[in-house]
Structure 1
Amino acid sequence: MKKSIVITIFSAAFIVSCGPKSTAVTVPKFSSAENLAQGKTVFENSCNRCHKLPDPAKHDDQGWIKTLSRMAPKAKLTDEQHQMVYDYLISVNKK
């Protein structure tokens, strides 16, 4: 009985450790003008490679979380770049 509990705990820990390492964007982190400018640059340079740039007002904050969660891996953004783009977009959107 103890052996099966230990195996179950070990298996669960192993499965969790194999999960994705990136952190999800959920709230603004950067607010300095420099970081927002970097976010704008990453947004313009990375997103514009594959499609026309969307209007920041296209989505509310939650909509941008969903969109960026899907698109950031395709654009090969780092977690920090992902966060900066999100922070830039919500700083300029009107929703």
Structure 2
Amino acid sequence: MKKLIVSAIGCCALLVSCGPKSTAVTGPKYTSSEQLAQGKTIFENSCNKCHALPNPEKHDDEGWLKTLSRMAPKAKLNEEQHQMVYDYLISVNKK
């Protein structure tokens, strides 16, 4: 029984270590005006394809984290684009 438990734990550890590395947006990263301008452009061009652009003040920083985590894959944003859009939105929102 002890061997079975140790084997199960080992298999679980192996599966977790081989899985994709999550480097999701967790907070602001880019602050330069060029990067924020890129974030605005990506936001306007990518999000506007499927729906009207939301007001950046619609959500606070945490709300944008949740919303973009859900929407970035649908918009086919890579990690850097996702980060730039988030940083742009929180730079202009007043919450």
Normalising by structure 1, we get a TM-score of 0.88
What is the RMSD computed on CA atoms of the aligned residues? 1.7
- Equivalent residue for 1:72? 72
The total of aligned residue pairs comes to 95
Distance apart, 1:11 and its partner CA: 1.5
- Equivalent residue for 2:55? 55
CA deviation map 1:45-82 (0-9, x unaligned): 00000000000000000000000000000001001100
8 Å contact from structure 1 (residues 22, 79) kept in 2: no
Unaligned runs of 5+ in 2: none
CA deviation map 1:4-39 (0-9, x unaligned): 354223311233145443422111000001110110
- Equivalent residue for 1:36? 36
**% same residue:** 77
* Closer, same or farther: CA 22–44 of 1 in aligned 2, 3 Å: farther
Unaligned runs of 5+ in 1: none
Normalising by structure 2, we get a TM-score of 0.88
